[in-house]
Amino acid sequence: MSNTTNCRVCNGTVGEFFDFGRQPLSDAFVEPGADPAQEFFYRLAVGLCTGCAMVQLMEEVPRDRMFHEAYPYHSSGSAFMRTHFEELAKRLLDTELTGADPFIVELGCNDGVMLKALADAGVRHLGVEPSGGVADVAAAKGVRVRKSFFEEDTARQIRAGDGPADVIYAANTLCHIPYMGSILTGVTALLAPGGVFVFEDPYLGDIVERSSFDQIYDEHFFFFAAQSVQAMAARHGLELVDVERIPVHGGEVRYTLAHAGARTPAPAVAELIAQERANGIADPSTLQRFGANVLKIRTDLMALLSRLREEGKTVVGYGATAKSATVTNFCGIDADLVTFVSDSTPAKIGRLTPGAHIPVREPAAFSQPYPDYALLFAWNHAEEIMAKEQAFRDAGGRWILYVPDVRVV
């Protein structure tokens, strides 16, 4: 019998379609010399809800294990993403935040990459961020932060203290939260009658189309699509009123929810849902095909890396992403195949990648000397990184990509 669990949105039956096996926490970088027995592993598998078509993880990792004082991911690490969030802040100022004394709440504000611009503009705001280290960085920039997990209680307390929110915003955060009922009850309680809940997350349509299986790891619990988000919103008296495909992190959708009946849905909503149905992005056959592609990528990538090692070529990783934990640990890539991973995040440098234990080194190590090949784990930032590292190409270096298929460029 195949594995099943209960849907965290509708309580229906979730049937497993792919099992990545035992995996470490994707952002738990290991101190060299640490006791290996202390490393935490869980079973990473994904399934599809037969009730509401939401794709989700089969097992939940306790949230305090992932999001804590030492959570290493800093959103400001990419110049492209800084611009992306500054542009959104400007757009919100011109559209949703034009009232007398507008108030915006951001879930998972991280280091303040988005709220900083609104704080500078004098907009009343609050970031809700449970990871203490990054919350401190946001606070140091002048962002008002509440160090806690957002959930129903938090939402009610914010409403009591600050009043209703005109905008509730979350980037790459809502998909991290399994306790969706509590979140959406909280959003409904906090949101002003005419307000909007805007969130952007990796899009299931892009993941299946590009076989970007490394979007699947402990922190990414849900894989949203317009059809599943529409159903989810309706369960909580909310309505999906707009969708926008955005070219960040390998393909995302920005969803806008409002109180049911408060706004007329944009045509884009019905259009994207029709396209999802036509492409069958959440059909069991599509997800089976996705699984077959993932197995082929593993085979091809390991064949390439083994051949390069036999030929005596040097290969290093670029970007110690959370995504790469799934790649290294599912494929079996270790420090014999990829000597080290170069990354700009201070909290990752000098540590070992989760599970695979590949050393993480500072960006300068990448050019001392340049390797023959660089495995681009941060492929979602390819344009920014390849432009920045043009000298690597000029020196004869080649990039290895593995989605949508394994290729050398």
| Residue 78 to residue 379: CA distance in whole angstroms | 12
Nearer to ligand TYD, 102 or 319 (CB): 319
The partner in contact with residue 378, picked from ligand SAH, Zn ion, ligand TYD, none with C-beta cut-offs of 5 to 8 angstroms by kind, is ligand TYD
The partner in contact with residue 384, picked from ligand TYD, ligand SAH, Zn ion, none with C-beta cut-offs of 5 to 8 angstroms by kind, is ligand TYD
Q: How would you class 114 by CB atoms within 10 Å of its CB: exposed for 0-12, middle for 13-18, buried for 19 or more?
A: buried
* Contact residue for ligand SAH among 17, 73, 255, 402 (CB under 6 A): 73
Residue 374, strand partner residues: 316, 399
Structure tokens at 144: 């008002």
Stretch that binds ligand TYD, among 149-157, 201-209, 223-231, 317-325 (CB under 6 A): 317-325
| Residue 316 to residue 140: CA distance in whole angstroms | 34
Distances (CA, A) of 257 to 86, 176, 230: 21, 18, 9
Residue 71 found at the interface with ligand SAH (CB under 6 A): yes
* Contact residue for ligand SAH among 129, 166, 206, 276 (CB under 6 A): 129
The partner in contact with residue 320, picked from ligand SAH, ligand TYD, Zn ion, none with C-beta cut-offs of 5 to 8 angstroms by kind, is ligand TYD
Give the residue from 314, 338, 350 showing the smallest Cα distance to 402.
Answer: 338
Nearer to ligand TYD, 27 or 239 (CB): 27
Residue 105, strand partner residues: 126, 168
Amino acid found at 190: L
The β-bridge relationship of strands 165-171 and 191-202 is parallel
Stretch that binds ligand TYD, among 121-129, 265-273, 305-313, 384-392 (CB under 6 A): 384-392
Residue 15 found at the interface with Zn ion (CB under 5 A): no
The angle that helices 180-190 and 226-234 make with each other, rounded to 10 degrees, is 70
The partner in contact with residue 171, picked from ligand SAH, ligand TYD, Zn ion, none with C-beta cut-offs of 5 to 8 angstroms by kind, is ligand SAH
Helix (H, G, I), strand (E, B) or coil at 26: coil
Q: Are 202 and 223 in contact (CB under 8 A)?
A: yes
Tell me the closest approach of the beta carbon of residue 325 to ligand TYD, in angstroms: 9
Residue 327 found at the interface with Zn ion (CB under 5 A): no
Nearer to ligand SAH, 92 or 177 (CB): 177
Tell me the closest approach of the beta carbon of residue 147 to ligand TYD, in angstroms: 21
Phi, psi dihedral angles at 252 (to 5 degrees):
-130, 170
| Residue 384 to residue 395: CA distance in whole angstroms | 18
Nearer to ligand TYD, 184 or 360 (CB): 360
Residue 149 found at the interface with ligand SAH (CB under 6 A): yes
CA 316, distance to chain mean position in Å, is 23
Tell me the closest approach of the beta carbon of residue 115 to ligand TYD, in angstroms: 18
What is 338-390 written as a DSSP string? Answer: S--EE---TTTTTSB-TTT-PBEE-GGGGGTTPPSEEEETTGGGHHHHHHHTH
Nearer to Zn ion, 188 or 227 (CB): 227
Look at the block and give the residue holding tokens 């695979």: 356
Pick out residues in 152-191 that bind ligand SAH (CB under 6 A): 171-173, 176-177
Helix (H, G, I), strand (E, B) or coil at 46: strand
Tell me the closest approach of the beta carbon of residue 240 to ligand SAH, in angstroms: 20
Residue 5 found at the interface with ligand TYD (CB under 6 A): no
Nearer to ligand TYD, 102 or 130 (CB): 130
Tell me the closest approach of the beta carbon of residue 45 to Zn ion, in angstroms: 16
| Binding-site size, ligand TYD (CB under 6 A) | 18
* Contact residue for ligand SAH among 23, 26, 75, 228 (CB under 6 A): 75
Contact residues toward ligand SAH (CB under 6 A) are 67, 71, 73, 75, 107-108, 110, 128-131, 134, 149-150, 171-173, 176-177
Contact residues toward Zn ion (CB under 5 A) are 7, 9-10, 12, 49, 51-52, 54
